[in-house]
Amino acid sequence: MSRVLRQEDFVQYNGFYGKPHCRSVVFHLYGGECATCHRQIERGNFHVAHIIARSHPTLMEKYFSYLDVDNLLNLKLSCPRCNSKESNFVVDALMLQGAFNSSARVISSRLESVLEKLQAIVKRIEMNGADPRICTDVLYIDAGEIRTLAADWQGAVVVPRSELDARVAEAVRNTLGSDGDDWITYQAVEEAIGFFRNHMEIRNGSSYSIDSDGSLPWLNTAKGQLYREGEFRPIPERVKAAGLIDGVYLDPDELSKRGGLLFPLRTEVQRWFRDIFVTIVWAQRKLERSGHKQYLALDEREWHAICECFDKLSVIEAGIGKVGRRLTIPNVVAHFGMRQNKLCFGEDDISVSDEVRRMCRAVATDSSWGDGALMLKSKLRPWLARAFSIADLAVRQTIGSRLVLVGDERSFYRRWMPRLPKLDGKTVEEVRLESSTRQTRRRTRATEKQSA
């Protein structure tokens, strides 16, 4: 068999069965056709089978001394029926030769184009806010119209929050119908405001939020009036008198540059998945921009975002069934934090270069948790690709547009999740109705006892 194939050409594909993109590669290599019965297979219902079963690694060594049993050459696309029939039986040498020759021809003729196609799929990780998987539609209000609604405060454009809420609520009703509610409207407006690097919001005359990079005089003035020495001040009466409460304060230059306000209209499910994709996207971009070849340092907030993303993906995997090897939490070389202005690592025996220490110090916070994370880029990169593929698959398998409450009332495990094939629960309306019904029953029983 080694005379027919040059096994040296396939050494690079050792361990391919464990790669995150293995299933996609094999499916596209065989064009969705079972290698045994030659029938077309549904995209979500196929097996990646071994020509020589994993239970017979010595047989693989006998024919290909340089290749392991998980090499791409030893993999084929199979429908569940054929894979079950073949099980781990050992076939004769002549049949093996035919199977391996066929596999080699498929790899040689199609692998390059398949990898190009998959690379295009991977590039979808650079999704924008209007990606249809996480956004139904977009409401756009141009800068000219914004200015007709706005007042001026020391150079800032002040837009009444009520005007934005009304416009978005109407768009939500028209686009999402009964799936739209006040919370979805609120989140859409908050997201649109959040796109601005410099902005301020005063709500109901009593609370406010400021996001500033310190470059704008009007925002610095506002911060000086509203915030000092770690404590919030009451909103000045002159601000209230000018009718500038319940307003969104925007920088006019940034408003002109953006051309207006962009409101992504998302269902509950789309917004839930958006949080996952946002985490994956910024982590991917941070990887690409990091100057160090081997390591990446995440601050405490970034590491917690990765953990939360993993937590959601773990439940997703349970909801969509078996999707290959289970996703595990990303490997961390060491956790770090600042203690009395000194960089400390959670592992006492950690040995890293001064350059890596400087990189960690740049993002470390003075926290009792010390949850900065030093990671290997070579480990995080495939983890992100795998996480993206799981989330992408779950988006397509989600049933309905509303989140459901999963878990039993008697258990600690209760959370709002998308409704997936193997994950069901109750919507907000169903939970409220159930709660109302229970309360009515209690009142009825109490009334009956009093009457008795």
Residue 306 scores a pLDDT above 90 = yes
The predicted pLDDT at position 32 comes to 87
Residue 441 scores a pLDDT above 80 = no
Which tops the pLDDT comparison, 366 or 45?
Answer: 45
Q: What angle do CA 305, 306, 311 make, to 5 degrees?
A: 95
Identify residue 171 by its one-letter amino acid code. A
pLDDT in tens, 8-50: 778 878 888 866 567 778 888 888 889 888 888 876 678 888 8
Residue 366 scores a pLDDT above 70 = no
- Here the tokens at position 216 are 């704008």
Q: Give the per-residue SS3 of the chain.
A: CCCCCCHHHHHHHCCHHHCCCHHHHHHHHCCCECCCCCCECCCCCCEEEECCCCCCHHHHHHHCCCCCCCCHHHEEEECHHHHHHHCCCCCCHHHHHHHHHHHHHHHHHHHHHHHHHHHHHHHHHCCCCCCCCCCCEEEEEEHHHHHHHCEEECCEEEEEHHHHHHHHHHHHHHHHHHHCCHHHHHHHHHHHHHCCCCEEEEECCCEEEEECCCCCHHHHHHHHHHEECCEECCCCHHHHHCCCCCEEEECHHHHHHHCEEEEEECCHHHHHHHHHHHHHHHHHHHHHHCCCCCEEEECHHHHHHHHHHHHHHHHHHHHHCCCCCCCCCCCCCEEEEEECCEEEECCCCCCCCHHHHHHHHHHCCCCCCCCEEEEEHHHHHHHHHHHHHHHHHHHHHCCCCCCEEECCCCCCCCEEECCECCECCECHHHHHHHHHHHHHHHHHHHHHHHHC
Q: Which residues have CB under 8 Å from 252's CB, separation 6+?
A: 155, 156, 157
**Calpha distance 265→280 (Å, rounded):** 21
The predicted pLDDT at position 279 comes to 92
Which tops the pLDDT comparison, 306 or 155?
Answer: 306
Lowest mean pLDDT among 54-63, 244-253, 278-287, 384-393: 54-63
The predicted pLDDT at position 3 comes to 39
pLDDT in tens, 241-299: 555 678 899 999 999 988 889 899 999 899 999 989 989 988 988 888 888 888 999 98
Residue with tokens 């200015």: 147
Which tops the pLDDT comparison, 90 or 185?
Answer: 185
Asked if 75 and 51 count as a contact pair (C-beta separation under 8 A), the reply is yes
The predicted pLDDT at position 122 comes to 46
Packing angle, helices 268-289 and 377-397, rounded to 10: 160
**Calpha distance 272→312 (Å, rounded):** 9
Question: What are the backbone dihedrals phi and psi of residue 80, each rounded to the nearest 5 degrees, phi first?
Answer: -55, -35
Which tops the pLDDT comparison, 241 or 212?
Answer: 212
The predicted pLDDT at position 124 comes to 47
Asked if 180 and 173 count as a contact pair (C-beta separation under 8 A), the reply is yes
- Here the tokens at position 154 are 């020391």
Which tops the pLDDT comparison, 235 or 391?
Answer: 391
Residue 90 scores a pLDDT above 80 = no
The predicted pLDDT at position 164 comes to 92
Percent of the chain at pLDDT exceeding 90: 10
The predicted pLDDT at position 276 comes to 92
Percent of the chain at pLDDT exceeding 70: 82
- The C-alpha R_g of the chain, in whole angstroms, comes to 28
Residue 4 scores a pLDDT above 50 = no
pLDDT in tens, 323-350: 667 888 888 888 888 887 888 887 666 7
Q: What is the mean pLDDT of the chain?
A: 80
The predicted pLDDT at position 121 comes to 45
Average confidence (pLDDT) over 60-71: 82
| Closest to 325 in 3D by CA, of 309, 313, 308, 312 | 313
Domain ranges of the chain: 7-125, 137-265, 274-398
Asked if 110 and 77 count as a contact pair (C-beta separation under 8 A), the reply is no
Strand order from edge to edge, sheet including 295-298: 295-298, 372-376, 334-339, 342-345
The predicted pLDDT at position 367 comes to 58
| Closest to 275 in 3D by CA, of 85, 137, 417, 75 | 417
Strand order from edge to edge, sheet including 151-153: 151-153, 156-160, 247-250, 199-203, 207-211
What's the start-to-end Cα distance of the chain, in Å? 90
Average confidence (pLDDT) over 149-167: 88
Residue 118 scores a pLDDT above 60 = no
36-64 CB burial, b ≥16 within 10 A, e <16: beeeebeeeebbbbbbbbeeeeeebeebb
- Here the tokens at position 28 are 């596209």
The predicted pLDDT at position 369 comes to 58
pTM: 0.63
